[in-house]
Structure 1
Amino acid sequence: MHKTTTILLMVLLPLVSWSQEADSAYEYYEEPAIYRATETRYFDLIHTDLEVSFDWSKEQLIGKAELVLKPLFYAQQDVTLDAKAMMINSVTLKGKQNQKLSYEYDGYDLQVKLDRMYERTDTLTLIIDYIARPNEWKGTGSEAITQEKGLYFINSDGSDPYKPQQIWTQGETESNSVWFPTLDYPNERCTQEISMTVQDRFRTLSNGVLIEQVKVNDSTRIDTWRLDTPHAPYLFMMSIGEYAVIEDKWKDIPLAYHVEKEYAEDAKAIFGHTPEMIGFFSDVLGVDFPWPKYDQVVVRDFVSGAMENTTASVFMEQLQVSKKELLDSHWDDIIAHELFHQWFGDYVTCESWSNLTLNEGFASYSEYLWNEHKYGLDEADYNFINDRESYFEEAAEDPKDLLRYYYEDKEDMFDRHSYNKGAAVLHMLRNYVGDEAFFAALNLYLEENALESVELANLRMAFEEVSGEDLNWFFDQWYFFPGHPEIVVTETFENDSLTLLVQQIQSEDFPTYKLPLFVEIWQGEESETYPIILESEVETYQFAMKEEPSLVIFDTERQLLAEVNHAKSPEALAFQMSHSDRFESRMEVMEALAEISDKKLIQQILIQALKDPFYAIKQYALNYMIDNKVKIKKYESLVLACLKDESSQVRSYTLSYLAETDFEEYLEEFKKALEDESYLVQSTALTYLFEYDLPVDPKLIAGLSAEKNINVVLAMSAYYLKQDGEDSFDWFEEKIKVVDDETLYFLLHSYSEKLIKASDARRKAAVSTYAEIAKNHPTYYTRLSAYQGLVLMSDLEGVSDLLDEIKESETDERLKEYYDQF
């Protein structure tokens, strides 16, 4: 599972902590603050065979499930299945003479009374005839997974011409039991076969391989998919839609990318690194991709960022972009994340949600591994530091154990601790044991636990067997305690001796950590690296040397998950900028610029930053120059060189700096930028040209007006805000129908601004658009944007009542609290 992360979410999440109230007839709440044991297994689920068809008008699934089970050890006379919000028609024991069985059903548990006592040597097959009614079930949801309906119909009646008809499923954590009866726990595992009856125009996808397609009549067929390797029920999936399917392969493993037909030509650009990723991960893990095929499908209105269903990952619609959009940003991180789950999560599965980081921590760390391999260490460190800072923000408000056996709801486990902290801990473990031992231990962990469910001890024992060291100290302090080290480093030099005073100042509720690390000491152009191990709250280290060091870098590898305060002189920072090859060390200098008053040192650092090989350092320098109104004179050649940088981000920042410096002087650069291959750069140039009311080629405006790229749409919205004709309103109305969630959030705000001065007739027409989004859009922050737009039109008749109606119908606690302010 990959969490959706955007600036929007980071801004809006603080409104209130996540909670979505279950309001169906089949509500289910777990008791808070109790021990969350691994689910007790009474039966072993051997195989699941599903035959399903769909009632689009009712948004229901008509199903028949055959479950092959056997008692795990103790004899059993009844079996309890998870089956949420279903209509159960019958339960039958399969045999020579199929026998109807009695059962009790409360909308959550299906308790079946068997015909006799079954021993562990017995196998039985249950046939359940049922109707799945996903709209009757609303779970609590989470920050990572916003709904728990399990089965989703998109544009079910086909009334929305801007949205395709689709069906897709999302099973994590325990939502697949909304659409088929099962034992819905991560420590269960079975093989599967799914037969889907669909209209002939649709393409289907499920786990495993397509083994049969049978025509029922001129318009209907049955597709049967089979996976002969057992996996957890939460990883079952289906998707149905009118897709273009682009084939690829890794060795003899078939791969496919399922996208809407409009993006058929872009699919390989979006997902094209997949074969290389599979090869890289297979090599470093020493375990080849363990499944018979791998599909990736993009769906509309997905309830998360992505999901790692076995052999078939599902992604949110934002991945559908053009080749030109990929020049500004790519989706490799999320693609790598879901792919790595095929080993960590699908092949070896956490035995309980308390152990979720064994799935998500590894998947998040795969992003680092891929970036390091493909794009270099700076890129890997840059993204990793951002994720680490995101964890620090969460930990500041609510520090938690990484491995948690006490939580209110299983969905609470999908947080920045399980993902970001989990990845950071693995990174420290890698640095401690070394690359060779790290990957040898991962190989052992995968091979010893293949197709099994695991807990943290399995991972620890693999590392201990490879390294030969008792690693309880490492696993205990990082997995079983909340928080992280907060360290103050003080350096002094006197009497030919450098003294480092290192203090751990974190709360006494957190442990005093054992922290192996390196200290790098520079004298002139030479450096020495010293290993140290912190084990006490206060420690002192002394290093004999004849002259004061030019620079001291604590934690040379920048691998600690710790907040470190190490005061350095401006001169040391300038030296660090030109001598350290680690991204975090250089970024540390950039972030300290505001505290430096020496103009010569600032100039020295900025010159070095503008020459830096990594784009993010250049961006930070340009942003600093904008914020501090740094004149261009001493930097002109370097700044103009940035206009030709390979990074569109750098080119865009450079234009912004030139606009703030002397727009008229560099006007030609903005005109040239209109021909840039990057949407981002074009959009930046357009924004300033529009701001100064300068003419732009009408053909270019017409062409860009049709685009859905977020940067282009926001630039063009600034243009249409200034236009008076009715067609300028029509542009907003039409664009609102076709853009993605994030773009829509901003566009609704922009259109609200335009509507303030619009006619009452136009505003009244807009009310219905905003109301529909505020009531029904699947993304909470988009509903918020629409609601805010309606507030600006509350002087119109009936809008105040409409706002009250929306408040009453809203189920997201974050929005309910916000709406109550009005």
Structure 2
Amino acid sequence: MRKLFALGLSLIALLSYQIASAQSTEDSIQFEGESVELYKYRASKTRYFDLLHTQLDVSFDWAKEQLIGRAQLRLKPYFYAQAELALDAKGMEIKSVGLLGSSGKLKVLKYEYDGREMNIVLDKVYERKDTLDIVIEYIAKPNELEAGGSEAITGDKGLYFINANGGDPKKPQQIWTQGETEASSVWFPTIDAPNERCTQEISITVEDKFNTLSNGLLVNQKNNTDGTRTDTWKLDIPHAPYLFMMSVGEYAVINDTWRDIPVNYHVEKRFEKDGKKIFGNTPEMMEFFSEKLGVDFPWPKYDQVVVRDFVSGAMENTTASVFMERLQVTEKELLDFNWDDIIAHELFHQWFGDYVTCESWANLTLNEGFASYSEYLWNEYKYGIDEADFNLLNDRDQYFEEAAEEAKDLIRFYYEDKEDMFDSHSYNKGAAVLHMLRNYLGDDAFFVGLNHYLTSNALKSVELADLRMAFEEVSGEDLNWFFDQWFFFAGHPEIIVSQTFESDTLSVIIQQVQSSEAPVYRLPLFMEIWSDGSSENYPIVLEDSVEIYQFPMTKKPDLVVFDSERQLLAEVMHAKSAEEYAFQILHSKSFESRLEAMEALPDIKDKKIIQTILTQGLQDSHYIIQQFALDYMMENGIKPKKYQELIDKAYVHESSNVRSYVVAYLAKTDFEENILRIKKSLDDPSFLVQSTALTYWFRNQQPLTPEKLQSFSQETNVNMVLAMSEYYLTQGDEASYQWFVDKAPDLNEEGLYFLLQSYAEKLVNAPDDKRKAAVDFYANYAQNHPSYFVRLSAFQGLVLLTDVAGVDQLLQEIKEKEKDERLLELYEQF
């Protein structure tokens, strides 16, 4: 799909005419022999009414997986007089619609309903000074809606019942909601648009054994005579309807606080002792972000709840974020990684997205770009600049990969589906652009600008111009050039840097070689030049496609570092010699410079230079650099002789990532020589180290004690499961098959994906009775699991069983029932 700006400004008038003339969502024109797709202009929703308050009373029919609701909506005409009211209400059975009079009596109103929108005929024409209360009794039937979704949010039915009949002993009964993008209107009638905002009160009636959670504060609990309880949650600060939430389940609630504001963590009861370890940095994050932004956390409380089978990674509902079940890990698993990035991301949304909200999905990066950049800010503060830069580099690479497939404008007013906005452009490119803006303005101006943006737009919906003007008012500078090139053009700079030294002059030639469809970027940056062991940073501003900078020097420099702050979102090609890479890892301090030298190792032939880079890499302060060094040594069979002292230090490194790489290195270079160290690592505190040692232990046919075999077989950590699967792949007894079957229900989606792959490998050469028995096992996951990549893994397993009678027909039935377009495309490849 090609975008408007990518075709050249001279075509704007023609394309605008074609778009205005199109009668359908999608149209096309012919341009230079190509068919160019066009999509409707995606404007902010026109507001005919202002939704002031939503009051809901809900209960549930678990057997039918339905919600029984009563909604009372207070509204007023936005400006013009209105005689009808349109509300979003998807897949509902409407029982009644009425107007609540001042006496408390309901006047029945006529309405039309097409299954997605209600058009209510009011009893008179209402002016903008008038306020009216509409009462709707309804039944929400989410399972009767046609399924939809996207890669980021895999389901859009709004309301989800998990293990509703309680038939799965391995899974709790839960109800939860997911409103983004426009799915809140599946469980209550509303004006389902991001530029709407209202206060709310929700009364939830459930069996007394269940906990409830919603936005705002729990203001009342009432025990009913039938064994149920009604909890009433209230939020007096207006927010967008897509941020409304509910969850119902049996939870352990861990109480915490930040500046007297309640901060609670809701996890399944078996993770009660781990909940504080998982989420415990939240108060420190709230303090850090509040101080950094100069705007205190703006809501009366903050809850975080983990649910089963969530349709996304997490969701930033106002005052109550929802997270996928993978966050439920043990304290031991947290030795190998943490979930700080996703926790910080959803928390930062409480400012950027909830407190100040994008007015349309075209402006989504004003929510997601900021939330993604919060991960950088938190890592920089908590774990250091190297960790922040490492994660930003990974995010940039994901964006570059996506842009290579299809580059898109960051602010997109033309798209096929609003779900398409949830991509690496809106998230990763958005964060990278903010990082460049911070570097350009400087920290003081950047954070004062963010404060001004938040305070001047508090509890409002915004577009990109609001952000630009906030920074312009603070900095005093016209920033149109920056915002235009980064937000309204697809792509990014592609730069070739070359240099020559002649006649006491260093010449650096910089070419922007990106497609002609992209602009020639204006790029303020620094160039660092090293000579005689010291460096100087030179500020430059690129504005032309080719520029040459000359520097008088008495001798050839040791190193030139283009964009020495490493802040530029660009693909840069800058050829360097082996000697320059060695100098770079020794002297240039940025993480990217050190990593760049490590990545150059495969192309370096000089053994002394390789040794210099490896020696420096093995003692680098960041675990990723050390891992690169160890990985290179493994791949090239380099023995530890010259590096023994550094290997010894890495073996006891504080990072389990480094320790696991050392174990792999020792095992691959000389297992027998290092067997005692590898055996010792079987008892390492870290699952990651244990599983690495265990993998090589099995590959070298070493036995385990019965006690260790039993203990390791019971673990549900994904790395341990993968390691143990290697053992059970080699066994032929009944128990080895049963281990895979018994292990599956205990695993989260990530572990299950890999287990299904591994079991399929075992089944390839299994006896016929084992292959037949596995069909139902794989079919259940292929047909019923909520995670699309688990269904994919199960489908692949079935493909390997096609010699079993009936499997071909089963595969066809699975294809016919599958709604996820991504999976259907993949299935056709089998």
Tell me the TM-score range normalised by the shorter chain.
over 0.9
Aligned to 1:715: 723
Q: Following the alignment from structure 2 to structure 1, what is the Cα–Cα distance between the partners of residues 360 and 423?
A: 16
Shift of the 328–441 alpha-carbon distance from structure 1 to 2, 3 Å rule, reads: same
User: Which sits farther off after the overlay, 641-650 or 756-765?
Assistant: 756-765
1:742 and 2:750 equivalent? yes
1:640 Cα shift?
2.2
| Secondary structure of 2:825's aligned partner | helix
Aligned to 2:442: 434
1:803 Cα shift?
1.3
Aligned to 2:12: none
Q: Following the alignment from structure 1 to structure 2, what is the Cα–Cα distance between the partners of residues 261 and 701?
A: 28
8 Å CA contact 2:239, 2:354 repeated in 1: yes
User: Can you give the 5+ residue segments of structure 1 that lack an aligned partner in the other structure?
Assistant: 1-27
1:116 and 2:127 equivalent? no
Aligned to 1:102: 110
Aligned to 2:76: 70
Q: Following the alignment from structure 2 to structure 1, what is the Cα–Cα distance between the partners of residues 362 and 484?
A: 15
1:641 and 2:649 equivalent? yes
Q: 4+ residue stretches of structure 1 with deviation over 4 A? A: 28-32
Letter matched to residue 647 of structure 2: V
1:726-777 Cα deviation digits (max 9, x unpaired): 1222211111111011111110111112223333333222211110100111
| Secondary structure of 2:175's aligned partner | strand
Q: Following the alignment from structure 1 to structure 2, what is the Cα–Cα distance between the partners of residues 544 and 229?
A: 62
| Secondary structure of 1:607's aligned partner | helix
Aligned to 2:791: 783
Tell me which of 534, 537, 547 is aligned to 2:545: 537
1:219 Cα shift?
2.1
Aligned counterparts, 1:701-712, within 5 A:
701-712=709-720
Letter matched to residue 88 of structure 2: D
8 Å CA contact 1:138, 1:147 repeated in 2: no
8 Å CA contact 1:30, 1:409 repeated in 2: no
Q: Following the alignment from structure 1 to structure 2, what is the Cα–Cα distance between the partners of residues 792 and 506?
A: 45
Aligned to 2:334: 326
Tell me which of 566, 575, 578 is aligned to 2:574: 566
1:54 and 2:78 equivalent? no
8 Å CA contact 1:270, 1:330 repeated in 2: yes
User: Which sits farther off after the overlay, 691-700 or 171-180?
Assistant: 691-700
1:354 and 2:362 equivalent? yes
Shift of the 100–240 alpha-carbon distance from structure 1 to 2, 3 Å rule, reads: same
Q: Following the alignment from structure 1 to structure 2, what is the Cα–Cα distance between the partners of residues 819 and 38?
A: 37
Letter matched to residue 68 of structure 2: I
Aligned to 2:14: none
Q: Following the alignment from structure 1 to structure 2, what is the Cα–Cα distance between the partners of residues 205 and 482?
A: 41
Shift of the 469–821 alpha-carbon distance from structure 1 to 2, 3 Å rule, reads: closer
Q: Following the alignment from structure 1 to structure 2, what is the Cα–Cα distance between the partners of residues 483 and 756?
A: 45
1:481 and 2:469 equivalent? no
Shift of the 772–51 alpha-carbon distance from structure 1 to 2, 3 Å rule, reads: same
Aligned to 2:603: 595
8 Å CA contact 2:58, 2:68 repeated in 1: yes
1:41-91 Cα deviation digits (max 9, x unpaired): 000000000000101111110000000000011000000000001001110
Tell me which of 156, 160, 169 is aligned to 1:148: 156
| Secondary structure of 2:792's aligned partner | helix
Aligned to 2:43: 37
1:252 Cα shift?
1.0
| Secondary structure of 1:295's aligned partner | strand
Aligned to 2:527: 519
1:179 Cα shift?
0.6
Q: Following the alignment from structure 2 to structure 1, what is the Cα–Cα distance between the partners of residues 435 and 828?
A: 44
Tell me which of 171, 180, 196 is aligned to 1:172: 180
1:329-384 Cα deviation digits (max 9, x unpaired): 10000000000000000000000000000000000000000000000000000000
TM-score, normalised to structure 1, is 0.96
Aligned to 1:663: 671
1:809 Cα shift?
1.2
Q: Following the alignment from structure 2 to structure 1, what is the Cα–Cα distance between the partners of residues 355 and 336?
A: 34
1:30 Cα shift?
8.1
User: Can you give the 5+ residue segments of structure 2 that lack an aligned partner in the other structure?
Assistant: 1-23, 28-37
8 Å CA contact 1:674, 1:681 repeated in 2: yes
Aligned to 1:182: 190
Tell me which of 610, 615, 630 is aligned to 2:638: 630
Tell me which of 374, 383, 389 is aligned to 1:381: 389
Tell me which of 187, 205, 225 is aligned to 2:213: 205
Q: Following the alignment from structure 1 to structure 2, what is the Cα–Cα distance between the partners of residues 756 and 589?
A: 43
1:218 Cα shift?
5.3
Q: Which has the higher contact order (CA 8 A, sep 6+)?
A: 1
Q: Following the alignment from structure 1 to structure 2, what is the Cα–Cα distance between the partners of residues 194 and 359?
A: 26
Q: Following the alignment from structure 1 to structure 2, what is the Cα–Cα distance between the partners of residues 156 and 79?
A: 35
Aligned to 1:472: 480
Tell me which of 308, 314, 328 is aligned to 1:300: 308
User: Which sits farther off after the overlay, 754-763 or 153-162?
Assistant: 754-763
| Secondary structure of 2:433's aligned partner | helix
Q: Following the alignment from structure 1 to structure 2, what is the Cα–Cα distance between the partners of residues 343 and 85?
A: 32
| Secondary structure of 2:273's aligned partner | coil
8 Å CA contact 2:90, 2:117 repeated in 1: yes
**Share of identical aligned residues, percent?**
67
1:91 and 2:97 equivalent? yes
1:614 and 2:622 equivalent? yes
1:503-541 Cα deviation digits (max 9, x unpaired): 100001000000000011110211111100000001111
Q: Following the alignment from structure 2 to structure 1, what is the Cα–Cα distance between the partners of residues 364 and 778?
A: 39
| Secondary structure of 2:425's aligned partner | helix
1:659 Cα shift?
1.2
1:139 Cα shift?
4.7
Tell me which of 674, 680, 684 is aligned to 2:682: 674
| Secondary structure of 2:229's aligned partner | strand
8 Å CA contact 1:144, 1:415 repeated in 2: yes
Tell me which of 784, 796, 802 is aligned to 2:804: 796
1:143 Cα shift?
1.1
Aligned to 1:767: 775
Tell me which of 278, 281, 285 is aligned to 2:289: 281
Q: Following the alignment from structure 1 to structure 2, what is the Cα–Cα distance between the partners of residues 128 and 29?
A: 31
8 Å CA contact 1:44, 1:71 repeated in 2: yes
Letter matched to residue 216 of structure 2: G
1:793 Cα shift?
1.5
| Secondary structure of 1:211's aligned partner | strand
1:650 and 2:658 equivalent? yes
User: Which sits farther off after the overlay, 330-339 or 635-644?
Assistant: 635-644
1:416-460 Cα deviation digits (max 9, x unpaired): 000000000000000000000000000000000000000011100
| Secondary structure of 2:600's aligned partner | helix
1:227 and 2:222 equivalent? no
Aligned to 1:417: 425
Q: How many residues align?
A: 795
8 Å CA contact 2:396, 2:428 repeated in 1: yes
Letter matched to residue 52 of structure 1: V
Q: Following the alignment from structure 1 to structure 2, what is the Cα–Cα distance between the partners of residues 202 and 659?
A: 50
Tell me which of 236, 239, 244 is aligned to 2:244: 236
1:754 and 2:783 equivalent? no
Aligned to 1:504: 512
1:806 and 2:814 equivalent? yes
Letter matched to residue 172 of structure 1: E
1:665-722 Cα deviation digits (max 9, x unpaired): 0000111101110000000111111111111222122112111110011011111112
Aligned to 1:23: none
Letter matched to residue 138 of structure 1: E
| Secondary structure of 2:373's aligned partner | helix
| Secondary structure of 1:278's aligned partner | helix
Q: Following the alignment from structure 2 to structure 1, what is the Cα–Cα distance between the partners of residues 475 and 578?
A: 42
1:546 and 2:542 equivalent? no
1:631 Cα shift?
2.5
8 Å CA contact 1:59, 1:133 repeated in 2: yes
